[in-house]
Amino acid sequence: MNSSLLSGLNPEQRAAVELPAQSALILAGAGSGKTRVLTTRIAYLISTGAVSPHGILAVTFTNKAAKEMVTRLSAMLPINTRGMWIGTFHGLCNRMLRAHHREANLPQTFQILDSGDQLSAIKRLMKAMNVDDEKFPPREVQSFISSSKEQGLRANEVEAYDPYTRRKVEIFAEYDAQCQREGVVDFSELLLRCYELLSRNAALREHYQERFKHILVDEFQDTNKLQYQWLKLLAGHSPSPQSSGETTSHSTKPASGPVTGYPASGRGGDRERHSSTSALFAVGDDDQSIYAFRGANVGNMQELTRDFQVENVIKLEQNYRSHGNILEAANVLISNNRNRLGKNLWTAENGGEQLRVYEAATDVDEAAFIVDEIKQLKSEGINLREIALLYRSNAQSRVLEHALVSAGLSYRVYGGLRFFERQEIKHALAYLRLMENTDDDNALLRIINFPTRGIGARSIEQLQEAAKMNSTTLWDAAARAGGKVSAFVALIESLRSATRELPLPEIMDHVLEHSGLIAHYQNETGVKKREAEERLENLNELVNAAALFVHENEDDSLTSFLTHASLEAGEHQAGDQDDALHLMTVHSAKGLEFHTVFITGLEEGLFPHQNSQREDGGLDEERRLMYVAITRARRRLYLSFAQSRMLHGQVSYGMASSFLRELPEGLLHWLTPRFVARKSFDSFLPDAASAPAPSFGGGAPSAHSSPWRIGQRVFHQKFGEGVITGVEGGGADARVQVNFKRAGSKWLALEYAKLTAV
């Protein structure tokens, strides 16, 4: 049995599987067979009699991964896997709380609130507390509560330095009390309540520490602070000092206390060492830690080696996915990151093709090039489902989708919605539809209270009753109503009036600004802030879609554009069995692999994203994201960027990504003809340590040909005030670089920018 389990494993994989019963860190590179190692380790422990199936605790991050692990185990061993503790953090905590609901002070039939249910509960509570939901947006309160719990904090432990935060803490406390009364828990509560249960209840903690002699964790680099503390408790570490005051196993007192863990080395003295009663077998890759925005702490991997005095750090470096050139590019790129545990991917296969690099004049040209290459790949016998188009931001998909629809190529947006199906886009289109046709009841219902304007469900029901009674549309009923409904009618009428003579892109821009949609997403904070930023990018891309539509169509009316949006949303919907391209963000691509990968939009400020410059460790995380993108490709990899791109309805000039400069020139094959004669492309790629200076134009800046000068203060309707830092070209090709206070540095074409001097 054991020989069959171990057959086919390489030396490092076998060493990991056969490790003695002590804690270990398996540093598993992309495509190195980590799932096989993790599953085989479990099978090996059971088959050798080291542990019974019920002595295993295996933690994953997705239900899909847990199910795959169970399926593989069932194929390896003749055992019943039904009762085994294999699942996600939330799933396993739920199981433990169900078994010990009395000790956790929960009813046996407690219910779990999903994100939508939680938000509804918060809104209901805030209404009862007479909290102004404009001053305290419910989504912001929701993010505050969830992030506090993920740090292991109850309301009475959150530090509130100002009246605004103190009020949110009060809502937090009342929310917890309401959930307790109603017998419900949210997702963050599952883990926190379970941690508290174990930390306060010595008898129960010791029971599970004795039971689970082997704890195995997948994707360890994605664990957050509280998840790691929960694992430490189960592995035999003592509760943190803040969690003292243990209770008996029959106590119903809810536990509290922040999860602070043990002091890090260099911060408050030497790290306290603890002997572990269980073996913690953690599998992860610090180079693929890309979820800091969700609370993931890549530092947990180094914490593990110190907390558990890990002597066994095994590196799985042999890659079974990609050709050598792709792996070498990934290795060289990621070597620029700081504080890595360090590894170097290699393959027994040959080097394969060079990475193909393409510079396009515009984002539209970039999309056209990609479509042509996909057609060529199809002619070579490559199925569409074996090809992926990756981008840093969801908003980038719009230009690609348009090109694919025009070419009749079937595609599927993985991990997200097609552009015209996204929530914020449908909201914006609903405003336009209602302006164009006030009889559109669906459009009216979608936006009458979005953004929130105090028109409640009862008011909408009354409108529907009035419309039905009088056999009229909802708009006619609304026109006869008063109060806030009347204000909504006035808003739509004002939008119609103000945009009557405007060209389509300006109609779009005006509606987004004056409907309140832009302000709504700009005001999001906390956990929802990142999601809101993506929605804002999509709304700005809608303006670009309108501009492109005007360029490509004789009939550029609003009616024609709305028809185009509806048709494009409905065309080429790939079914589950269809051969279709995959479009996705790099975040969504983690864990997947494809024959051919296109990494698009490789420009400074786009990838790496401009936000990374404002965040500590932000560029390192962006580089890890690029590493993930590169290692998705098995055989062929394309890297593309554009000289200019439509952003916020304006032509914006960018620079090639600094990540391109970090790749060895010998690994790259430039498809753009004019680069054949270049000895080096360093001259046109930005130095990450220097100020931006575009050189796509191929000529020296000609400041004398422009009325604008470096150092001049200017104003832009979209970006606000800024200072000119560069001037280039003349006539219709003139452009300036402006450092805006709010939007950062941007290159703008003077023909379109409409700058005014301050």
Of 140, 150, 196, 219, which residue is the catalytic one? 219
Specify whether 68 is catalytic.
Answer: no
Q: Supply the DSSP string of 393-451, one letter for each residue.
A: SGGGHHHHHHHHHHHT--EEETTS--GGGSHHHHHHHHHHHHHH-TT-HHHHHHHTTSS
* Count of beta carbons in the 10 Å neighbourhood of residue 352: 18
Backbone φ, ψ for residue 201 (5° rounding): -115, 95
Structure tokens, 257:
């206390």
684, 695 contact by CB (below 8 A):
yes
Specify whether 118 is catalytic.
Answer: no
The Cα–Cα gap between 600 and 390 comes to 6
Of 34, 200, 590, 735, which residue is the catalytic one? 34
The Cα–Cα gap between 548 and 640 comes to 21
The Cα–Cα gap between 556 and 659 comes to 39
Q: What is the DSSP letter of 156?
A: G
Residue bearing tokens 């509290």: 256
Backbone φ, ψ for residue 149 (5° rounding): -65, -35
Q: Supply the DSSP string of 237-305, one letter for each residue.
A: PPPPGGG-S-B-TT--PPP------SPPTTSSSSPPP---SSEEEEEE-GGG---GGGT--TTHHHHHH
The Cα–Cα gap between 63 and 623 comes to 28
Q: Which residue, 478, 487, 408, 425, is CA-closest to 452?
A: 487
Of 209, 288, 396, 650, which residue is the catalytic one? 288
The Cα–Cα gap between 215 and 234 comes to 8
* Count of beta carbons in the 10 Å neighbourhood of residue 254: 15
Of 72, 193, 392, 632, which residue is the catalytic one? 632
Residue 325 CA neighbour count, 13 Å, CB half: 16
Structure tokens, 277:
């009663």
41, 216 contact by CB (below 8 A):
yes
Residue bearing tokens 């009316």: 557
Structure tokens, 29:
């590179």
The Cα–Cα gap between 256 and 173 comes to 12
> What's the distance, CA 686 to chain centroid?
26
> What's the distance, CA 57 to chain centroid?
28
* Residues sharing a CB contact under 8 Å with residue 742, sequence separation 6 or more, in sequence order: 719, 720
> Beta partners for 85?
57
Q: What is the DSSP letter of 50?
A: S
Of 218, 328, 373, 603, which residue is the catalytic one? 218
Of 14, 18, 22, 35, which residue is the catalytic one? 35
Computed from CA positions of residues 678, 679, 683, 684, in that sequence, does the dihedral angle turn out positive or negative? positive
Backbone φ, ψ for residue 200 (5° rounding): -90, -20
Specify whether 573 is catalytic.
Answer: no
Residue bearing tokens 């990621």: 334
The Cα–Cα gap between 110 and 464 comes to 36
Specify whether 528 is catalytic.
Answer: no
* Residues sharing a CB contact under 8 Å with residue 727, sequence separation 6 or more, in sequence order: 701, 702, 703, 706, 708, 709, 710, 734, 735, 736, 737
The Cα–Cα gap between 686 and 603 comes to 10
Specify whether 35 is catalytic.
Answer: yes
657, 599 contact by CB (below 8 A):
no
Q: CA of 392: how far to CAs of 309, 419, 602, 638, 643, in Å? A: 38, 15, 9, 15, 17
To which H or E segment does residue 638 belong? strand 633-647
- Catalytic positions are 34-35, 218-219, 288, 632
